[in-house]
Structure 1
Amino acid sequence: MPVESPAAATPARRAAFIFIFVTVALDILAFGIVIPVLPRLIREMSGGDFVSAADWVGIISTVYAVVQFFSTPVLGALSDRYGRRPVILLSNLGLGLDFILLAVVNSLPWFIVARIVSGMTAASFSCANAYIADVTPADRRAETFGKLGAAFGIGFVVGPALGGMLGEIDIRLPFWVAAGLALANFCYGWFVLPESLPPERRTPTLDWSHVKPFGGLQRLRRYPQVFGLAVVVFLSSLAHYVLNTTFVLYADYRYDWGPRAVGYTLGLVGVCNGIVQALLVGKFVRRFGERRMLYAGLAFGAIGFAWQGLAPTGWLSLIAIPMLALWGVANPAVQALMTRQVDPHEQGRLQGAVAGLASLAGIFGPGLYTQTFAWGISPNNPWHVPGAAFLLAALLLVVAIVMTMRALAHATVPATSTES
């Protein structure tokens, strides 16, 4: 097989990255649009009570995570066997159908059906990470993962702010716009997105023993450093679910924020995340190394969540945003550390296993945080602690720091690492 010259490889990698960057940005934009209105719509359909709304948000989010947990390993293995492109297209199509259902349903059980559709096909982010691993040298992956994270920032800058404004017009309108974006992304991928995994690097057969939901987690044991870091990924993912499941309800309850205020706040979150991911991750990793950035990111996240949970006013709560944005340096660092430990032809299964961990966290996270939030505001609770869910997330990241110390205590960093 002819070897591609570095001069030819660099433009090809740049073009491939641009394609996948646009794909992820459109997906996140679609997600971001519905964030400010989804919990409020659930609260309206559940009678307007915050405690009841928290229960339904927990149920719907848990069902989605369970379905995603069982589906993601299958999609990861399919991407290793047939390529990344068809799996990304399937994910975008499922996301579009999910938003259409959410726009038209009038009962909470139908919300669950819509989430099942999305959970069965939700693999665009794990496939995007595998795509980047396909086309990027090992010593550049942390920086590239960080740049890909900027797509999340762009989506969260525009998406929630737009969703908040659309939600003020009609609470269903953001779902229609999100559906249009997801289906436009499907068309973009169909006509533009190239395949990143050549046939000679694909797995020769589809071994169904490798697509069991817990199979990817079991395979991580073959790589002791990866397995230890996988625990950190799980704890970090579990902590992140406090934002997905309770932030909108929390801000509405404690600060009396409507869709527009929540949308603008999440837009600010996106700006800060974009700055960190696009401008700081690569520089920080080159200067301080992946290990130190992992520790620093987790520490900033713990401080940010604690601040959010204790802030008595909305203005004071905004101070948590830059701290939580700096938490974003942890994910590219841990991704890069893990991808170094597996063979190139197993990158898809690694990312599938990592996504499975996030899905596993999603099984426990929604109920954990919505019930903690409900407990904190319950009139039967002798302590009124509306920020209890965020304080719990901070504690989980402290535990993640301890687990990182254990995972990296005896690890050997490859020579290509930028560790100082």
Structure 2
Amino acid sequence: MEKLSGLSHLFMTVFLYNFSTFMVIPAITDVTMSALCPGEDECSLAIYLTGIQQAIIGLGTLVMMPLIGNLSDTYGRKAMLTIPMSLTIIPLVILAYSRERYYFYAYYALKTLTAMVCEGSVHCIALAYVADNVPENRRASVFGILSGISSSAFVCGNLSTRFLSTPSTFQASASGAVIATIYMRIFLPDSIGDGGVSTGRNSKEATNVPLLDEHKGSRNNVRVFKTMPSFDDSISLLRSSLTFSQAAAVAFFSNLGEVGLHAGLMYYLKACFHFNKDQFADLMVIMGIAGTISQMLLMPMLAPVIGEEKLLSIGLFFSCAHMLFYSIAWSSWVPYGAAVFSLLAVFAHPCLRSIASKQVGPSEQGKAQGCISGLCSFGNVLSPLVFSPLTALFLSANAPFHFPGFSIACAGFAVMVAFVQSVMIRAAHPNSSSKVSSCDCEEP
């Protein structure tokens, strides 16, 4: 009962957080364009700045995700959730106050800095929280429900944007981020330590170490540095299981493609079909509803029957297909049709995370999810460097040939590589109690 209560509060925390952050997505393109290139439908400067921002954020999260995952194993999921959820509020407040050019630049700088810690952190820690409290045979379904909660927040956030003015959108987003943080601090029990939900570890392993202790400050500092992952730690984890290394490769290539899609899609639709905030919101609502239905209803039924390995391949296949449909859109209705492919494309990430979580022990869930998130972040670094110049080039008058969606098609081919790799995964599920980290093996 205690575990169910913890999971319900986690789901509400994730919903509130994602609701507040997703609702600004349809509006941010118009804000960026009006600040940098007022009155224009095509702006290479906006595309390049967005790409640079994504690359810098990816470089930061490449370092921070494994670190945050490791620290959450030691200090508790709740303590580490507080950091990104609090930092998320700062840039939203700036655009809630004003969207003029200089305020946009301030937002851009602070968003870049804070997102190095925030981007993906809440989802990463939430996955580790679920793995703490859910047995392996039910993990894929609950990961799917967690993703479904995020998709439902995506729908609600974009629906609210559809009926709010741009200033009100950012004000509501900033208020929602504050509410989400307060709710998490008050109601969410920690899944590590005496005060939280039991994880099934022995009492020595489960002891929650406070981040701040006036009497043991230097000792805690030593422990913090001991928990910082090194490059060798990540290599050891990748070598610990063929299945884990395959899942890591799938994570990298799928994220490479998805970031490439999101980096150019809105600018592509605005240049080709003159989409605005409301049409972006409509498109995202369709994607969100399809994803919510799939993850909340279909995935819990299908995962036990056909297995998460096959569901992973199905999700990646349809993810690739919907990118290719976007790239060849010949009319303004085609993107809406392509968005329906999200019904099956959303299977990929929950299945991937579940496969990875089963390859490590109960005391390494944060480390494993952080490693996968770190590799996704590596994709975040490379993707804008490749796809943003392609997007800008093929939307300009200097394109070598007429194919405005060329960069999105290339993103689809990156996901196709992930699909081919996923077909080769034959996940072994060893007993969790027998899995230990390389560090544990070296201890006397």
State TM-score, norm by structure 1.
0.89
Question: In the alignment, what sits opposite 1:118?
Answer: 115
Matched, 1:275 2:299: no
Deviates more, 1:396-405 or 1:252-261: 396-405
For the 8 Å contact 2:316–2:348, the answer to whether it is kept is: yes
Q: CA deviation at 1:243?
A: 4.0
Question: In the alignment, what sits opposite 1:253?
Answer: 271
For the 8 Å contact 2:356–2:369, the answer to whether it is kept is: no
> In 2, Cα distance between the equivalents of 1:415 and 1:214?
25
Question: In the alignment, what sits opposite 2:146?
Answer: 148
Question: In the alignment, what sits opposite 2:131?
Answer: 133
Q: CA deviation at 1:97?
A: 1.4
Question: In the alignment, what sits opposite 2:174?
Answer: 179
Matched, 1:68 2:86: no
Deviates more, 1:65-74 or 1:187-196: 65-74
Matched, 1:376 2:397: no
Residues 6-42 of structure 1: per-residue CA shift (max 9 Å, x gap) = xxxxx22322211111111112112211111112222
Matched, 1:229 2:239: no
Deviates more, 1:261-270 or 1:378-387: 378-387
Q: What code does the residue aligned with 1:196 have? A: S
Question: In the alignment, what sits opposite 2:34?
Answer: 44
Q: Percent same amino acid among aligned pairs?
A: 24
Name stretches of at least 5 consecutive residues in structure 2 with no aligned partner: 195-202, 210-222, 433-444
Q: CA deviation at 1:87?
A: 0.9
Question: In the alignment, what sits opposite 2:25?
Answer: 35
Deviates more, 1:115-124 or 1:307-316: 115-124
Q: CA deviation at 1:133?
A: 0.3
Question: In the alignment, what sits opposite 1:363?
Answer: 381
Question: In the alignment, what sits opposite 2:15?
Answer: 25
> In 2, Cα distance between the equivalents of 1:154 and 1:324?
13
Matches within 5 A, 1:323-402: 323-402=341-420
**Secondary structure, aligned partner of 1:319:** helix
> In 1, Cα distance between the equivalents of 2:35 and 2:394?
22
For the 8 Å contact 2:256–2:415, the answer to whether it is kept is: no
For the 8 Å contact 2:309–2:425, the answer to whether it is kept is: no
Deviates more, 1:317-326 or 1:266-275: 317-326
Q: What code does the residue aligned with 2:20 have? A: A
RMSD of aligned Cα (Å): 2.1
Q: CA deviation at 1:202?
A: 4.2
Residues 59-112 of structure 1: per-residue CA shift (max 9 Å, x gap) = 122222222222222221221111000111221111111311344473354212
Q: How many residues align?
A: 401
> In 2, Cα distance between the equivalents of 1:315 and 1:180?
34
Residues 351-375 of structure 1: per-residue CA shift (max 9 Å, x gap) = 1111112211111222322222112
> In 1, Cα distance between the equivalents of 2:85 and 2:19?
12
> Which of 314, 318, 340 is the equivalent residue of 1:296?
314
> In 2, Cα distance between the equivalents of 1:25 and 1:239?
25
Matches within 5 A, 1:73-88: 73-88=66-81
Q: What code does the residue aligned with 1:287 have? A: V
For the 8 Å contact 1:78–1:87, the answer to whether it is kept is: yes
Deviates more, 1:389-398 or 1:185-194: 389-398
For the 8 Å contact 1:69–1:360, the answer to whether it is kept is: yes
Q: What code does the residue aligned with 2:26 have? A: P
**Secondary structure, aligned partner of 1:337:** helix
> Which of 50, 53, 58 is the equivalent residue of 1:57?
50
Question: In the alignment, what sits opposite 1:196?
Answer: 191
Deviates more, 1:272-281 or 1:233-242: 233-242
> In 2, Cα distance between the equivalents of 1:415 and 1:345?
13
Aligned in 2, Cα 1:217/1:159: closer, same or farther, shift over 3 Å?
farther
> In 1, Cα distance between the equivalents of 2:302 and 2:294?
10
Question: In the alignment, what sits opposite 2:428?
Answer: 412
For the 8 Å contact 2:71–2:227, the answer to whether it is kept is: no
Question: In the alignment, what sits opposite 1:5?
Answer: none
**Secondary structure, aligned partner of 2:333:** helix
Aligned in 2, Cα 1:202/1:212: closer, same or farther, shift over 3 Å?
farther
Q: CA deviation at 1:381?
A: 1.5
Deviates more, 1:92-101 or 1:157-166: 157-166
For the 8 Å contact 1:76–1:348, the answer to whether it is kept is: yes
**Secondary structure, aligned partner of 1:198:** coil
Deviates more, 1:336-345 or 1:134-143: 336-345
Q: What code does the residue aligned with 2:186 have? A: F
> In 1, Cα distance between the equivalents of 2:231 and 2:95?
27
Aligned in 2, Cα 1:120/1:184: closer, same or farther, shift over 3 Å?
same
Name stretches of at least 5 consecutive residues in structure 1 with no aligned partner: 1-10
> Which of 158, 163, 180 is the equivalent residue of 1:165?
163
**Secondary structure, aligned partner of 2:340:** helix
Matched, 1:307 2:322: no
Deviates more, 1:328-337 or 1:116-125: 116-125
For the 8 Å contact 2:10–2:188, the answer to whether it is kept is: yes
Q: CA deviation at 1:224?
A: 2.2
